[in-house]
Amino acid sequence: MRLSRYFLPILKENPKEAEIVSHRLMLRTGMIRQQSQGIYSWLPLGKRVLDKVNAIIREEQNRAGAIELLMPTLQSAELWQESGRYEAYGKEMLRIKDRQERPMLYGPTNEEMITDIFRSYVKSYKNLPLNLYHIQLKFRDEIRPRFGTMRSREFLMKDAYSFDLTLEDAIHSYNKMFVAYLRTFARLGVRAIPMRADTGPIGGNHSHEFIILAETGESEVFSHRNFIEFDIPAEDTDFDDVAGLQAIFDKWTSLYAATSEMHDEAAFSAIAEGDRLSARGIEVGHIFYFGTKYSEPMGAKVQGPDGKEHPVHMGSYGIGPTRLVPAIIEASHDENGIIWPESVTPFDVVLISMKPGDAACDSVCDQLYRELGNAGKDVLYDDTDDRAGTKFATADLIGVPVQVIVGPRSAASGEVEIKNRKTGAREVMTVEAAMNKLIG
Amino acid sequence: MRLSRYFLPILKENPKEAEIVSHRLMLRTGMIRQQSQGIYSWLPLGKRVLDKVNAIIREEQNRAGAIELLMPTLQSAELWQESGRYEAYGKEMLRIKDRQERPMLYGPTNEEMITDIFRSYVKSYKNLPLNLYHIQLKFRDEIRPRFGTMRSREFLMKDAYSFDLTLEDAIHSYNKMFVAYLRTFARLGVRAIPMRADTGPIGGNHSHEFIILAETGESEVFSHRNFIEFDIPAEDTDFDDVAGLQAIFDKWTSLYAATSEMHDEAAFSAIAEGDRLSARGIEVGHIFYFGTKYSEPMGAKVQGPDGKEHPVHMGSYGIGPTRLVPAIIEASHDENGIIWPESVTPFDVVLISMKPGDAACDSVCDQLYRELGNAGKDVLYDDTDDRAGTKFATADLIGVPVQVIVGPRSAASGEVEIKNRKTGAREVMTVEAAMNKLIG
């Protein structure tokens, strides 16, 4: 993409309304724009990152056997009356009447609708296990939306729903998502710690929040320091291996980790002092086993091997992509701007021409742009007439991992400079060496 | 994907509520499910097709220089008061109040919001031309939604918006989208004819609807038969070539083509009788130049080379992916089910095991499944215990272009049968020959 043809509205001033660094950087880099309170447009740079985050979430959901569909944003109130949540949900639910005066709502979550889909088609245990997910907009009318897309009203959520005949099977489905989440967050370049969350009246050990440690996190969290060192389950993990997944779950829940709501000071104090980690965190995922809470009132039953009907055991599994993007920035930035992990960077390379119009500069830049593109790299080619200082500042601000700087003198001798955004290290090398380094 | 692990809720009966074939087939194949009147879930099979349609739309928009972003579904009423459309829009607009009693709406289109984004950032003609698009849900509260996702209330739209300094530049931007649309529909396997549409009080020749001919189309259309033969602009079309694009536009608008609203009986009668085409059609795209209709009242101005401020010339360009899917089916099906064009098929191959559990069958199927997958093919592997007749009927119904049928006897001698869904032609060949045919 040539910057002269792109839409990258960099703000020169720090926006006053932004209280945390991710919000500030997302506004300054032109990733997002607020349209109404807590409602954002994702401008082109932000959209690219969001797409990459969604793609990784999707790959790991599919790997774990979940199947993608797409439910609508608007739901009829009737479904929620069936489950009993229509009255209970309160003012966070955006209630709407259509032109026929039928009560509708903008879905804040989809347990009711997915249960309705399930009960319409699935009648036998032979069709289980089943896990259906979508990545869809939700709306929650928060009283105090803030921190940009970290806590917005219209937001994107990946929500998966599992259906099983027995509690035992449901635990295996839960473990699949537990492992998928560990892999997802690791691939996004962040370390998320699973922490026991409140299961409410259902009880049990099967609700976990995944928390990224960050100074600006909204939650206070307490955990054993060793989580930082734990291995992430490998790409070839066998999701059908019941015992194998249970072992991963057991390991990742063997040490103390809790948010303030679930905090047990005595248990925490029992950890050796040097191993105690007390910090702030951002919730980026939440998985939850809730048994027959919806299948029972909504009649989602299957025939078991015993010939009788059984309400299915369900779980739900959420990740917020529009919250993950700022969470990644909170975990990875410096005073000059964002530092994207390679997996979600909006571009792989920024190619900076120091003097567009200069024959040597243009020739080297055009060659690199073409060849890197052919090799499958996404290149942002700064071919604008901006001053060098502006170009460098922009490249640092938007946080693309690698910068290739092409000046007229070095270009004339067939050389370019490569800068690593994270370390700041610079190297001068031939165009050919640069290609090998960037593609290799 | 193993069918035993997939969610493909085939309906045995023809759904009574479906009046047209695409609606019937989308329900029967478990592509969609109605959640409320005119509001649908896209079940896994449907979601796959929708994703492929969106990917092609996106590729062609990007090729033509349009830049993707993502605007939210909910908009504040204020923006629409600025343009004057808030009162004018009528009951199709879903009006909402949030918990603070602020008037909001579910966007039926995005001219106002994109104009607001533009005016916030772009101040100089040097940043033009600019074309921004998104693929996002819209809501129009139709009095009579019908025909499944062909005319639904919550639907997906790709809407692009162009910004130019002059009318002349705006025409070039218009032509870019005109050409992109011709390419998009051709890649989706349908022939769409651009027809002059009503431009309202603005006048001019720059509003076109793209119409697919289909018996069940809602519009009556009249055109010259030769459109069927016109060449589609090539992939390497130079979108910066002003005269070249104009020539394509001129050619594609040189013959008579009009919907009933714009029909001129005299002009149509002037066509030689054998060349007259009078048919029904489905509108799948609409492009529109509307000048300064929004930029003027909303103050979207740029500084020109003359140092003065000018309201920008705008156009908008819509395609409805959730309508295109049924339109493709209307144009491509037979009495046994859907016949997908290769570009949008949910799977590339259906692999039918006639006897799961038989050693030869399993061995050949597993090998083909693995090797086709490694070669990048999406395979639906029917490893279920269903009867052969059911498996064949399902494969025909869901319309995947190629079926590979593996029976125990032929498998034992290393042979499989390949069936072409469209022609019905069958061929027996070795596993190796089958691999070469399918991958080659």
What's residue A201's pLDDT? 62
Looking at the DSSP bridge assignments, the partners of residue B140 are none
Give B30's contacts in chain A (Cβ within 8 Å): 121
Measured between alpha carbons, how far is B63 from B81 in angstroms, rounded to an integer? 35
**Chosen from A2, A4, A7 to mutate, greatest number of chain B CBs within 10 A:** A7
The residue of chain B nearest to residue A44, with distances taken between CA atoms, is: B69
Q: Do B7 and A67 touch (CB under 8 A)?
A: yes
Q: Do B94 and A96 touch (CB under 8 A)?
A: yes
Measured between alpha carbons, how far is A287 from A177 in angstroms, rounded to an integer? 8
Measured between alpha carbons, how far is A52 from A32 in angstroms, rounded to an integer? 16
Give B9's contacts in chain A (Cβ within 8 Å): 120-122
What's residue B65's pLDDT? 98
What's residue A440's pLDDT? 75
Q: Do B69 and A44 touch (CB under 8 A)?
A: yes
The residue of chain A nearest to residue B31, with distances taken between CA atoms, is: A69
- Tens of pLDDT, residue by residue over A216-273, are 888 899 999 998 889 999 999 999 999 999 999 999 999 999 988 889 999 999 999 9
Contact (CB, 8 A) for A126 and A176: no
- Tens of pLDDT, residue by residue over B109-144, are 999 999 999 999 999 999 999 999 999 999 999 999
Measured between alpha carbons, how far is A432 from B181 in angstroms, rounded to an integer? 39
Measured between alpha carbons, how far is B56 from A166 in angstroms, rounded to an integer? 42
CA distance B69 to chain A (A): 5
Q: Report the residue from B47, B99, B141 with minimal CB separation from A91.
A: B99
B273-295: average pLDDT: 94
Measured between alpha carbons, how far is B387 from A155 in angstroms, rounded to an integer? 45
The residue of chain B nearest to residue A143, with distances taken between CA atoms, is: B99
State phi, psi for B403 to the nearest 5 degrees.
Answer: -115, 135
Q: Do A75 and B35 touch (CB under 8 A)?
A: yes
Question: ipTM above 0.90?
Answer: yes
The two three-digit tokens of residue A88, written as one number = 């209970």
Measured between alpha carbons, how far is B362 from B353 in angstroms, rounded to an integer? 7
CA distance B272 to chain A (A): 46
Q: Which of helix, strand or coil describes residue A261?
A: helix
Q: Report the residue from A71, A120, A139 with minimal CB separation from B74.
A: A139
Residue A243 neighbours by CB under 8 Å, 6+ apart: none
**Chosen from A4, A69, A130 to mutate, greatest number of chain B CBs within 10 A:** A69
Q: Do B44 and A104 touch (CB under 8 A)?
A: no
Mean pLDDT of chain B, nearest integer: 95
pLDDT tens for chain A, 440 residues: list them: 999 999 999 999 888 889 999 999 999 999 999 999 999 999 999 999 999 999 999 999 999 999 999 999 999 999 999 999 999 889 999 999 999 999 999 999 999 999 999 999 999 999 999 999 999 999 999 999 999 999 999 999 999 999 999 999 999 999 999 999 999 999 999 999 999 887 766 556 689 999 999 888 888 999 999 988 899 999 999 999 999 999 999 999 999 999 888 899 999 999 999 999 999 999 999 999 999 999 999 999 999 999 999 999 999 999 999 999 999 999 999 999 999 999 999 999 999 999 999 999 999 999 999 999 999 999 999 999 999 999 999 999 999 999 999 999 999 999 999 999 999 999 999 999 999 999 97
CA distance A39 to chain B (A): 7
CA distance B112 to chain A (A): 11
Q: Give pTM, 2 decimals.
A: 0.97
Q: Which letter does DSSP use for residue B276 in this model?
A: E
Give B119's contacts in chain A (Cβ within 8 Å): none
The residue of chain A nearest to residue B123, with distances taken between CA atoms, is: A9
CA distance B39 to chain A (A): 7
The residue of chain B nearest to residue A39, with distances taken between CA atoms, is: B72
State yes or no: pLDDT of B201 exceeds 70: no
Find, among B189, B186, B203, B208, the residue nearest to B316 by Cα. Answer: B208
Measured between alpha carbons, how far is B39 from B228 in angstroms, rounded to an integer? 34
Contact (CB, 8 A) for B218 and B230: no
Give B74's contacts in chain A (Cβ within 8 Å): 36, 39, 106, 139, 153-154
| Measured CA angle at A101 (ends A97, A107), to 5 deg | 30
Measured between alpha carbons, how far is A377 from A374 in angstroms, rounded to an integer? 7
Number of A–B residue contacts, CB under 8 Å: 134
Lowest mean pLDDT among A212-226, A304-318, B16-30, B52-66: A212-226
Q: Do A72 and B35 touch (CB under 8 A)?
A: yes
The residue of chain A nearest to residue B128, with distances taken between CA atoms, is: A5
What's residue B288's pLDDT? 94
Q: Do A94 and B91 touch (CB under 8 A)?
A: no
Q: How many CA atoms lie within 13 A of A53 on its CB side?
A: 27
**Chosen from B95, B98, B153 to mutate, greatest number of chain A CBs within 10 A:** B98
Q: Do A74 and B5 touch (CB under 8 A)?
A: no
The residue of chain A nearest to residue B44, with distances taken between CA atoms, is: A69
Q: Report the residue from B73, B91, B141 with minimal CB separation from A154.
A: B73
Indicate the pLDDT class of residue B204, thresholds 50, 70 and 90.
low
B254-271: average pLDDT: 93
The residue of chain B nearest to residue A67, with distances taken between CA atoms, is: B44
Q: Report the residue from A42, A75, A94 with minimal CB separation from B98.
A: A94
Indicate the pLDDT class of residue B217, thresholds 50, 70 and 90.
confident
